[in-house]
Amino acid sequence: MPRLESSADVVRLATTDDGLRLALHHYRARDPRGQEPILCCHGLAANRLAFDLGEVSLARHLADRGYEVFVLELRGHGLSQRPAWGWSFDDYLTRDVPAAIAAVQARTGAERVHFIGHSMGGLLAYAHLARGRRDLKSAITVGSSLDYSAGTGFSSLLPFSGLLRRVPAVPVPLLARASGAFVGRWVTPYERFNVWPSNCEPALWRRICAEGFHPVSSPVMAQLASALGRGGLRSADGSRHYLSGLDGVDTPVLALAGSRDAQCPPHTARATIAKLPRAELAVFGTEAGHADEYGHWDLLMGRRVRDEVFPRILDFLARVD
């Protein structure tokens, strides 16, 4: 594994059915109260920093309130092993997520886990449920949808999708680091695509740009592009639409959406939860009574998440636990 530090209490391992070792960053409950454990999963190109930036940490916040929290890093991200390029979203879905859930179950003795997914991590939660899996107590998605045809800033990238067949991976860190050099001085299109600048501490976003992104396997990007088309995200072989698999799923779901999320605006997030009978949407922004607007990453590391976002998550968990 790469030699990177973790601020978790301990880094555990989950082994996939194709033999990869994945990092599970374990934040021990400070005052255990018997609740089901929580598994967190980052988004596209990201890593554990999505849930733990030190001074702003959803993982620590939940652990301090009695939850055993595990932050998964998918293959090729953070401390997890990276195989040869060529894996798809379905490898995350059918190999990495089940391995992580099984490892959390074995460690805690729980039959089911709460799943919190940011961005693509939320897509993994939805698709996992669509596959008929019953090992989630609840799912919380943060800026996520299986169907982006209703609108997303990613649409502007479609003309370049043909390039994915020519390169093994997309060098996201190069763009992130270049943008990070301007944080606090000039708002770049990359920054606006990811955060609402006034709701973001420059030092935190600068750190994410420097340390929080990894190259993305081209087949992952190619498969995610299907979410922009009719019927939403398809399996890697194109044989199924995951959105249609949500019919009849009764797992409680909380979908968080930012008012100025360029990647997954509220109406796009709503397109998925409309299929789920026990789902609710929480929109964060000034129209909802919050102090500022929220972008894509702000929902986890914005200036006021401890007072505005995290309590909403805890309230939902308390109701379904």
Residue 194 lies in a domain: yes
Q: What is the pLDDT of residue 161?
A: 63
Indicate the number of domains in the chain.
Answer: 1
Whether residue 172 is contained in a domain is answered as yes
pLDDT computed for residue 208 by the predictor: 94
Task: State the pLDDT at residue 100.
Answer: 99
pLDDT-flagged residues of the chain (< 50): 1-3
256-295 pLDDT, tens digit per residue, is 999 999 999 999 999 999 999 999 999 999 999 999 999 9
Q: Is residue 63 part of a domain?
A: yes
Q: What is the pLDDT of residue 140?
A: 99
Within a domain: 4 = no
Bridge partners for 217 per DSSP = 169
Is 117 inside a domain boundary?
Answer: yes
Tell me whether residue 215 is in a domain.
Answer: yes
Pairing of strands 279-284, 69-73: unpaired
Give the residue numbers spanning the domain of 30. Answer: 10-316
CATH number assigned to the domain comprising residue 201: 3.40.50.1820
Q: Phi and psi for 296 in degrees, rounded to 5?
A: -75, -45
* pLDDT tens-digit series, residues 91-144: 999 999 999 999 999 999 999 999 999 999 999 999 999 999 999 999 999 999
What's the burial of 211, exposed, middle or buried (CB within 10 Å: 0-12/13-18/19+)? middle
pTM, whole model, 2 decimals? 0.95
Q: Does any domain span residue 191?
A: yes
CA-to-CA distance for 281 and 269, rounded, in angstroms?
Answer: 8
In a domain, 1, yes or no: no
117 vs 43: CA distance, rounded Å = 7
pLDDT at 181: 79
For residues 26 and 76, what is the distance between their CA atoms, to the nearest angstrom?
Answer: 19
